[in-house]
Amino acid sequence: MSTLADALLSAPERRALERFARELERELGNSLRGAWLYGSRARGERTGPESDVDLLVITDRARRRDRVQEMLDQAADAEGANRFFFSIQVYDLDWLAERRGVEAFFVKEVDRDRIVLAGDPEGLPGARAPAPELQPGEMRPRTKELLEEARERIDFARLGVGADVGTPVVSIAYYAALDAARAALSEEDRHTRSHKGTWGLFRETFVVTGRFDARLHAAAHAVQKKREYADYAPVRYTPEEARNIVETCERFVAAVEAMLGVEPE
């Protein structure tokens, strides 16, 4: 089994994760069921600036996500790592049981890539879930979930634009489009591990086959670079620039919904 020494991490990032794991075990005690590094960094692959340090934490009962996030931020700051490169998901056993029964792709991905930070090396998430049973014409649960997340992000980004917020809404709008792209692929039972892979597979699956507008796909994909500038570079967008980006992403989300047969609200 791989260890942190095998992961693609800077020295400060590695120390931050070690500190974070110690603090998790100290504060959560027996409530902590496990913490894992997964994704491209765990595989030793960094595909670009968008390759975050992906973490999953599971507890035996509901815990305040904000506190776990605070512990991670403190560990990153203490070790001189950039806290914004860490992306953490905190869930409980009920969530894991539901995820296994609804759609196993995510927990299978964690199982495949994971490096154990805390907990039993052979324990959770242990994804041995059957494929969901769908009725003819029924949408996959994961597809519904991603579409809901995309719509929520777009609505939130629009609120930001309405308040004349610039740079912060660019990232929110981009992730809305990415969620929509992943939703469309989910409905085809196709999945990728990276942002780049998602946009490429979407093009192959829907644009090349004539099911989706090539120009709209290209415009939404182009927001990926703008999102990287917004999150990682000293680039600032005016409210008007942000508005145009949000509108592009909103058109993309709406077009995906239409392609999948979702009735507009």
- HEC string of 54-75 equals EEEEEECCCCCHHHHHHHHHHH
In sequence order, the β-bridge partners of residue 35 are 57, 118
pLDDT of residue 129: 44
Q: How far is CA 39 from CA 59, 94, 136, 188, 256, in A?
A: 20, 23, 33, 22, 26
Report all structural domains of the chain as residue ranges with CATH numbers, in order of start.
4-118 (3.30.460.10), 141-260 (1.20.120.330)
The closest of 64, 85, 65 to 16, measured between CA atoms, is 85
Q: Which residue has the higher pLDDT, 31 or 124?
A: 31
pLDDT at 75 over 90: yes
Helix (H, G, I), strand (E, B), or coil: what is residue 119? strand
In this prediction, residue 103 has a pLDDT band, given cuts at 50, 70 and 90, of: low
Tens-place pLDDT, residues 224-263: 999 988 888 778 888 899 999 999 999 999 999 999 999 7
Angular region, 138: left φ>0, alpha ψ -120 to 50, beta rest: beta
Structure tokens at 28: 């959560």
Using CA atoms, how far apart are residues 245 and 177, in angstroms rounded to an integer?
A: 11
Average of per-residue pLDDT across 142-160: 92
Q: Whole-number mean pLDDT of the chain?
A: 86
pLDDT of residue 200: 94
pLDDT at 119 over 90: no
Q: Which residue has the tokens 């469309």?
A: 184
**In sequence order, which residues have a C-beta less than 8 Å from that of residue 92 and are 6 or more positions away?**
58, 59, 60, 61, 62, 63
Are residues 206 and 196 in contact, defined by beta-carbon separation less than 8 angstroms? no
In this prediction, residue 148 has a pLDDT band, given cuts at 50, 70 and 90, of: very high
pLDDT at 128 over 50: no
